[in-house]
């Protein structure tokens, strides 16, 4: 098949970006002719399986976003603040790029907005993946955007959601949508795998030494300057280690994790970028290591060094990709029990030993419950820790591998 994969953003750093590049890679490996239409200017940095990448020149450089980040050469602006004229110009520019690449068997578009309007305007058969961020951050409570989403999705061959939670959110925000199919995101189970500690640490330091210069950490989407030396010093001795990786925004609940670490005999690593970083650094326990943004090539080596990976989000999540990646790499995830995260926790619990199932999640927003579960996880004997690692890995391989996800998205509907 010839597939046009439309994504309005980059190919690294955040969930939908990782999702896009994983689909490009898996579809290309499966023998499809894949073109990714996006804003990524350095696609050679990623394994796309040979997929072609085409950039779209945006009118006045305006990029509609759901969470405010910096984008080199572009002007990010909240989607809900776009005028109708600006939305129309954005759709026209992106749809024109897609039409230039036709014919195609399918356009697969990320995000209800602006993916569905762009794909619909291309004139080709299309499917849409709702990621949740646009629904919760920009569309909810905005009648004009809700209507635009509903009208655009009505023409789609299928709309995919990553969890039952997002299926409910989609209907709540835009009303009933026909042909909604639930396909969770995936994990690269060959990249995220169980590794001995010494091997993982050596590989992590090798990856960090490959990082591009970032003087003064001026580029927030790059790893912090000097990470190789800082990570080597941090992991020079064994100690219980807690990990968070994700966006550094208030909605992700990292501040709750910092509160819960009070009284826990463990050290903390915080990975990610975002406008909340300075606030979190000021509140973090002494010795906490902030690394800035890391890519999968780092995280696949870092996760085996973490005794627990915490997903403390206080805002609804479409899925728990972070948790699934952690479980695949042998770092038992501890999730806030809500929205799509609760569905991941439930999947892990099914394979955990009965006496350990309560350690998959904690009550949302409850620092005391998080603290108690953290302490219990960190105190587990080696036999129980191995049981969690093995069970978590097995669950991810069986339920959430990328190859299976990519095939399901192309199945007849």
In a domain, residue 13? The reply is yes
Distances (CA, A) of 236 to 105, 198, 364: 53, 11, 34
In a domain, residue 152? The reply is yes
Name the residue range of residue 256's domain: 197-399
Note whether 59 and 130 are same-domain residues: yes
List the one residue out of 219, 358, 230 whose CA is nearest residue 289.
230
* Bond from prior residue into 219 cis (ω within 30 degrees of 0): no
Note whether 241 and 140 are same-domain residues: no
Domain boundary among 183, 210, 245: 183
Q: Return mean pLDDT, the chain.
A: 96
Q: How many domains are contained in the chain?
A: 2
In a domain, residue 406? The reply is no
Note whether 140 and 205 are same-domain residues: no
In a domain, residue 192? The reply is no
Note whether 156 and 292 are same-domain residues: no
Q: Note the pTM of the prediction, 2 decimals.
A: 0.77
Q: Is the pLDDT of residue 335 over 90?
A: yes
70 phi-psi bin (left φ>0, alpha ψ -120 to 50, beta other): beta
> How many of the other CB atoms lie within 10 Å of CB of 392?
26
Note whether 61 and 110 are same-domain residues: yes
Note whether 210 and 344 are same-domain residues: yes
Q: Is the pLDDT of residue 58 over 90?
A: yes
pLDDT tens, position by position, 387-405: 999 999 999 999 999 988 9
Instruction: Give the β-pairing of 267-271 and 289-292.
Output: parallel
pLDDT tens, position by position, 62-115: 999 999 888 999 999 999 999 999 999 999 999 999 999 999 999 999 999 999
Note whether 166 and 227 are same-domain residues: no
- pLDDT band (50, 70, 90) for residue 191: very high
pLDDT tens, position by position, 176-187: 999 999 999 889
End-to-end CA distance of the chain: 16
In a domain, residue 360? The reply is yes
Sign of the CA dihedral 117, 118, 123, 127?
Answer: negative
Strands (DSSP E) contained in 205-350 are: 241-245, 267-271, 289-292, 308-311, 333-336
CATH of the domain at 272: 3.40.50.2000
Q: Is the pLDDT of residue 15 over 90?
A: no
In a domain, residue 209? The reply is yes
Domain boundary among 142, 159, 183: 183
Over residues 111-122, the mean pLDDT reads 98
Q: CA-CA distance, 358 to 377, in Å (whole number)?
A: 10
Q: CA-CA distance, 117 to 79, in Å (whole number)?
A: 13
List the one residue out of 199, 219, 167, 203 whose CA is nearest residue 42.
219
In a domain, residue 413? The reply is no
């Amino acid at each position: 098949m010839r597939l046009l994969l439309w994504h309005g953003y980059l190919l690294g750093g955040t969930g939908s970006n990782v999702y896009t590049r994983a689909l490009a890679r898996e579809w290309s490996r499966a023998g499809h002719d894949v073109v990714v239409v996006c804003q990524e200017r350095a696609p050679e940095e990623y394994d796309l399986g040979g997929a072609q990448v085409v950039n779209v020149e945006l009118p006045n450089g305006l990029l509609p976003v759901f969470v405010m980040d910096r984008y080199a050469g572009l002007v990010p602006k909240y989607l809900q603040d776009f005028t109708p004229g600006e939305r129309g110009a954005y759709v026209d520019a992106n749809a024109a790029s897609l039409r230039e690449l036709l014919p195609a068997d399918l356009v697969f578009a990320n995000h209800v907005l602006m993916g569905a309007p762009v794909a619909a305007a291309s004139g080709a058969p299309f499917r849409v993946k709702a990621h949740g961020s646009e629904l919760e951050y920009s569309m909810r409570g905005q009648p004009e955007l809700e209507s635009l989403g509903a009208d655009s999705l009505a023409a789609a061959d299928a709309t995919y959601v990553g969890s039952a939670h997002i299926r409910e959110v989609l209907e709540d925000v835009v009303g009933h949508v026909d042909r909604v199919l639930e396909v969770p995101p995936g994990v690269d189970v060959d990249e995220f795998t169980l590794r001995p500690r010494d091997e993982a640490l050596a590989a992590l330091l090798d990856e960090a030494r490959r990082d591009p210069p970032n003087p003064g950490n001026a580029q927030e989407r790059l790893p912090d300057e000097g990470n190789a030396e800082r990570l080597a010093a941090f992991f020079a001795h064994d100690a219980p280690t807690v990990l968070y990786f994700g966006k550094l925004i208030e909605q992700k609940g990292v501040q709750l994790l910092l509160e819960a670490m009070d009284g826990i005999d463990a050290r903390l690593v915080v990975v990610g970028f975002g406008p909340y970083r300075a606030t979190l650094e000021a509140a973090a326990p002494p010795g906490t290591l902030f690394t800035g943004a890391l890519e999968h090539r780092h995280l696949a080596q870092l996760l085996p060094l973490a005794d627990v990976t915490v997903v403390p989000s206080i805002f609804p999540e479409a899925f728990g990709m972070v948790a699934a990646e952690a479980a695949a790499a042998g770092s038992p995830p501890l999730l806030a029990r809500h929205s799509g995260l609760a569905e991941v926790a439930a999947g892990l619990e099914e394979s955990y030993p009965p006496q350990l199932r309560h350690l998959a999640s904690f009550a949302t927003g409850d620092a005391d419950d998080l603290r108690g579960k953290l302490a219990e996880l960190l105190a587990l004997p080696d036999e129980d820790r191995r049981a969690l690692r093995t069970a978590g890995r097995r669950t991810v391989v069986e339920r959430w591998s990328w190859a299976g996800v990519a095939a399901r998205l192309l199945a007849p509907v």
